[in-house]
Amino acid sequence: ETGVTQTPRHLVMGMTNKKSLKCEQHLGHNAMYWYKQSAKKPLELMFVYSLEERVENNSVPSRFSPECPNSSHLFLHLHTLQPEDSALYLCASSPEPSGTYNEQFFGPGTRLTVL
């Protein structure tokens, strides 16, 4: 595996379900990110982790819960979502979050549909 991988690629869930999105980066980077991409809107940053420590939470509802067990893995735990949470969820990584080199490399995304 190379780059940034995400599973599952597609997810349909009911409002009462609990599910998790997984991201893995194979680039040796120190920072990882969750973004939400909705139709007709710019990418919205949700969370930033640097060396497994959360450094930014962009006012995201508590029904989204991130977890970063190590610098290569990132999870987004979902529970009691709303239909408006349906979107493409993208994971990204970068060498470091705020240093000289912050090119972020994205995974393919998880297309989430909440019924």
Partner 1 sequence: EDQVTQSPEALRLQEGESSSLNCSYTVSGLRGLFWYRQDPGKGPEFLFTLYSAGEEKEKERLKATLTKKESFLHITAPKPEDSATYLCAVQEKGAQKLVFGQGTRLTINP
Nearest CA to 63 out of 77, 43, 48 is that of: 77
Examine residue 39 and tell whether it contacts partner 1 (CB under 8 A). no
Examine residue 82 and tell whether it contacts partner 1 (CB under 8 A). no
Examine residue 52 and tell whether it contacts partner 1 (CB under 8 A). no
Judged by CB under 8 A, the residue of 13, 17, 20, 45 near partner 1 is 45
Neighbouring CB atoms inside 10 A of 46's CB total 20
Alpha-helical regions (H) of the chain: none
Judged by CB under 8 A, the residue of 17, 30, 80, 104 near partner 1 is 104
Examine residue 71 and tell whether it contacts partner 1 (CB under 8 A). no
Judged by CB under 8 A, the residue of 11, 32, 109, 112 near partner 1 is 109
Region at 52 (left for phi over 0; alpha for psi -120 to 50; beta for the rest): left
CB 108 within 8 A of CB 22: no
- How close are the terminal C-alpha atoms of the chain, in Å? 32
Between 15 and 55, name the residue whose CB sits nearer to partner 1: 55
Chain positions contacting partner 1, by CB under 8 A: 4, 6, 31, 40-43, 45, 48, 50, 55-56, 58, 90, 92, 97-98, 102-109, 111
